[in-house]
Structures are given as C-alpha cells and as structure tokens.
Amino acid sequence: MADGCMVFFRAGACDLDAAAKAFAGYGLTVTRRGDELTAGRPAIPGFPNRWFRVRLAAGPHVAAEATEIGEGTPHEAAMRECAARFEISIDDLDAALDEINTLMEVQGALQDASQGFLFLPWNGSLSKPWRE
C-alpha cells in the first residue's frame, strides 16, 4: 500500500458485506474479490483514478495500534475498545486529494457502517463517527 487511511471500530460491529452495502448506499460502485473490496467511481477527465481498495483487519495488533493512535486525544477511551479496522489503500495520495470527494465518500460510508473512527496518517487526524 503506497498510502492509506484506516477506520477503527469495535470487533464484530461491521464486516465487508456491511461495508459493500454502505458503499452502494453512497452510490459508489463496489466489487468484491475474496477478502478485498474495491469501491469508487469511474474516471472523469482530469481525475483518472477514483478507486480505493478496502480490507478488514482485526486482532491484538489492531487493538494495540488503535490504543496508541487514540492516546492523548478526546477519543482515547473509545479507541481502546477498537480491535478491528478497515484499511483503505490509496495508490496515489496526491491524485486522491485533488479529487477528494470520492475518498471522503468511501471514508464516510465505512464510518457510517461501522460507527468507526477515521485516522489519516498523512496529517495525524482522528475523527469520531459521523453519526453517534
């Protein structure tokens, strides 16, 4: 993964099927290959890559990372309860940020489906679920 971001949530609160339904609810095109979803929109002039790969990870390593990321933030207690995450792969971060809408829809759909916390490693931002 060249770049990416993550949505942390409680283990068992969401799965790839629920994520796929959330993507469809946002009007995104979604395909599944094994344990990976691809979600996005067809290319438009000037914005050729609007596709993102999404995987689900869970376990003690995810919980440890969630605890570390949440430390010292207003979301510290909630992040200690997160042992699962969606990992969003971004092939070209600059291109994705140039056409930010699709990435934000992918992130929002995952937050809605999981009630998860969005972490952006490129700026250290940690955002609570849109709907609590």
Residue where the block lists tokens 């099927």:
17
Q: Which residue ranges form the domains of the chain, and what is each CATH number? A: 4-112 (3.30.310)
Tell me, what's the pLDDT at 50?
Answer: 83
CA distances to 23, 47, 73, 116 from 40, rounded to whole Å, are 8, 12, 31, 20
pLDDT at position 34 is 95
Q: What is the pTM of this model?
A: 0.92
pLDDT tens profile 39-71: 998 877 766 668 999 999 999 999 999 999 999
Residue 118 region by backbone torsions, left for phi larger than 0, else alpha for psi between -120 and 50, else beta: beta
Q: Which residue has the higher pLDDT, 109 or 99?
A: 109
Quick one: 69 exposed, middle or buried, by C-beta within 10 A (0-12, 13-18, 19+)?
buried
